[in-house]
Structure 1
Amino acid sequence: MEVRLNGRQANPEAYKAMIGMEQFIASTGLEKKMYNFIKLRASQINGCSYCISTHSKELLAMGESVDRLLLLSAWRETPLYSEEERAVLELTEYATKLSAAGIPDEVYARVRVHFNEKQYVDLLMAINMINAWNRIGVGTGMFPGCI
């Protein structure tokens, strides 16, 4: 396999803008493990192998269990995730697959049990961010170990 191009080198200003958004998300107070679970689940859906590898390793380095990583795609079928995590994972799936059903009112309501309006927007920004990275990763042909 070969990478199509190095997006960071091809357009440093675009990359700089993406990093600026990452810095904003880091400043929101969204818990790092939660953000990495958002990143991992969206990356699984989008088939971004580079991001799946990166965020799995980050979660392991944070002390996350192998079981929770391996079973993330089946989170509905296991008691390993809290109600708050389930709400965020469900929102991540609906926002990532937006054209399929939008974000249903009941999903919004489940998230709002755990997060206020500002935090809800923060979650949407985090989900948008990883979806953007996934599109760059897949679009440029990135894979684990390529850079």
Structure 2
Amino acid sequence: MQARMKNPVLVLPETLQALLAVSNSIKDRGLSENTMDLVHLRVSQINGCSVCTDMGFRKLQKAGETMERIVGVSAWREMPYFSDAERAALALGEAVTRLADRPDAVTDEIWNEAIRHYDEKALSALIVAIAIDNVWNRLNSTVRQPAGASWN
């Protein structure tokens, strides 16, 4: 696959800087980077973003994550490899990503499980991370950015 055009954030470098600033603003807010990376991978799988799925897989692998957990993200509900807190984050990631699938996509059950595991700052970081993941997925998918290729 060849990209339709240069990635929009390279055409508009101020946008790249803004997105990176948002991503940096949520680090160290009580949510582990590993949890954010697992959610990033799942959100990217749902959206069919090959670039982000590939990057997410590689980042988790480089961080020493087990293959069972990396591969298991796609079926996390049925896999025994995730903590309750990670499951809450993955459920929220799926719900926020699939807003159009049903009315009130982020159900009270999903929300209550998330607030059971995360304080306000960590939950805020998680919500922003999910939103940013969706932005990157949409940018890359729209221009057909190929996985493993440089942005040009």
TM-score, with normalisation over the residues of structure 2?
A: 0.92
How far residue 23 of structure 1 moved from its aligned partner, in angstroms, is 1.0
Residue 101 of structure 2 is aligned to residue 104 of structure 1: no
Structure 2: runs of 5+ lacking an equivalent: none
| Distance in 1, Cα, partners of 2:68 & 2:97 | 23
Residue 139 of structure 2 is aligned to residue 128 of structure 1: no
In the alignment, residue 71 of structure 2 is paired with which amino acid? Answer: L
* 1:22 matched residue in structure 2: 23
Across the aligned residues of Structure 1 and Structure 2, the Cα RMSD in angstroms comes to 1.2
* Aligned 8 A contact 1:3 1:146 in 2: no
* 1:90 matched residue in structure 2: 91
Aligned residues, how many?
A: 147
How far residue 36 of structure 1 moved from its aligned partner, in angstroms, is 0.6
What are the equivalent positions in structure 2 for 1:37-116 lying under 5 Å apart? 37-101=38-102, 102-116=105-119
Distance of aligned partners of 1:27 and 1:78 in 2 relative to their CA distance in 1, 3 Å threshold:
closer
* Aligned 8 A contact 1:90 1:107 in 2: yes
| Distance in 1, Cα, partners of 2:25 & 2:88 | 22
Greater percentage in helix? 1
| Distance in 1, Cα, partners of 2:112 & 2:88 | 9
| Distance in 1, Cα, partners of 2:28 & 2:81 | 28
In the alignment, residue 21 of structure 1 is paired with which amino acid? Answer: V
How far residue 2 of structure 1 moved from its aligned partner, in angstroms, is 1.0
TM-score, with normalisation over the residues of structure 1?
A: 0.94
The worse-fitting range, judged by mean Cα deviation, of 7-16 and 72-81 is 7-16
How far residue 118 of structure 1 moved from its aligned partner, in angstroms, is 2.6
Identity %: 34
Question: Alpha-carbon deviations, 1:37-56, whole Å to 9, x = none?
Answer: 11100000000001000010
| Distance in 2, Cα, partners of 1:27 & 1:117 | 13
How far residue 117 of structure 1 moved from its aligned partner, in angstroms, is 2.2
